Amino acid sequence: MTVRTHLLAVVCALSLGACSSTPTHYYTLIAPAAQGSAGVTPAPFQFEMQPVLMAVQVDQPPLVVRQGNGSLAILENERWGAPLGDEFHDALTGELERRFGSRDLAGLPKQSDQPVLTVRTDVRRFESVLDQYALIDVVWNLSLRADGSKRQTLTCSSVIRQPAGTGMENLVIAHQKAVSSLANAIAKTANEWARNTTARCSS
């Protein structure tokens, strides 16, 4: 076999290997923008979203799924479009912006005549079981401050389990719905608490 023929055989083998390899899929926690979200009454505060603390077992680019025997499987060809903590932050921020009727002002100038609500989240569990359910266990903290008044804080928690259909895409959609349910609880609590600081956490 000549050198040229050998090189051609190597190139063909590499090409066939590349074609037969498993493709990589990328997913996002950010749900498509909902229709009909205009006309929301703005919340009685400005808000800022802090970085998310994510459970270390799942805070990596590949999706991590729980298996029946208690083990975890790391799916190298099924990946988040960004680090999972960032995906969760951006997804929750977008959901809250729609519910509060205002944008996240983290790192941006604030108006001095309106209180500022700070939202912090600690994702203790982010559980994925293929073809069964998605579950999130989140401790979240609200902090409200206004010029000349004492800072108020409220800490709540939510455990949300969302049924998932068959396949990886449906599992991701279930997680998107879980984030949306979390946003509902945070927004309801924040609006009630900002008007009456004796209000408690909403489920």
The domain limits of the chain are 45-195
Per-residue pLDDT, averaged over 6-34, amounts to 67
Give the C-alpha separation, 122 to 102, whole Å: 23
Which comes out higher in pLDDT, residue 30 or 7?
30
**Residue labelled with tokens 């500022």:** 116
3-class SS of residue 27:
strand
CATH 3.40.50.10610 fits 45-195, yes or no: yes
What pLDDT shows up at residue 3? 42
Contacts of 64 (CB under 8 A, 6+ apart): 57, 58, 72, 73, 74, 75, 128
The pTM of this model reads 0.86
Question: Mind listing the pLDDT tens digit for each residue in 62-115?
Answer: 999 998 778 999 999 999 999 999 999 999 999 999 999 999 999 999 888 899
Question: Mind listing the pLDDT tens digit for each residue in 80-90?
Answer: 999 999 999 99
Q: How open is the CA angle 192-47-174, to the nearest 5 degrees?
A: 80
The dihedrals phi and psi of 72, each to the nearest 5 degrees, come to: -115, 140
Question: For 4, which DSSP code?
Answer: H
In this structure, what is the dihedral angle of CA atoms 174, 177, 182, 188, given to the nearest 10 degrees? -160
Confidence tier at 16 by pLDDT (50, 70, 90): very low
